[in-house]
Amino acid sequence: MKDWFLLYCKRSEQERAVINLDRQGVECYYPQVNVNKIVRGKRVEISEPLFPSYIFVYFDPEHLSYTTVRSTRGVADFIRQGARPQMVQQELVYGLMMNENCEVHQAKLSSLPIPGECLQLKQGQFKGIEAIYQEADGEKRSFMLINLLGKPVKVSVENEDIVKD
- Can you give the pLDDT at residue 140? 47
- Can you give the pLDDT at residue 49? 85
**Cβ–Cβ under 8 Å, residues 124 and 155:** no
119, containing H or E segment: strand 118-121
- Can you give the pLDDT at residue 120? 73
Which of 50, 56, 139, 49 has the alpha carbon at shortest distance from 93? Answer: 56
Q: Report d(CA 16, CA 19) in Å as an integer.
A: 5
Query: Rounded to 5 degrees, what angle do the CA atoms 45, 116, 53 make?
Result: 45
- Can you give the pLDDT at residue 77? 94
Which of 51, 46, 43 has the alpha carbon at shortest distance from 8? Answer: 51
pLDDT tens digit at each of 165 positions of the chain: 899 999 999 988 999 999 999 999 999 998 888 887 778 888 888 888 888 899 999 999 999 999 999 999 999 999 998 888 999 988 888 888 887 756 545 555 555 666 677 777 776 766 777 777 666 655 445 555 555 556 666 766 666 666 665
- Can you give the pLDDT at residue 137? 58
Which amino acid would we find at residue 77?
Answer: D
Q: Is 11 helix (H, G, I), strand (E, B) or coil?
A: coil
- Can you give the pLDDT at residue 55? 93
- Can you give the pLDDT at residue 136? 62
- Can you give the pLDDT at residue 97? 83
Domains, the chain, ranges and CATH? 3-109 (3.30.70.940), 113-164 (2.30.30.30)
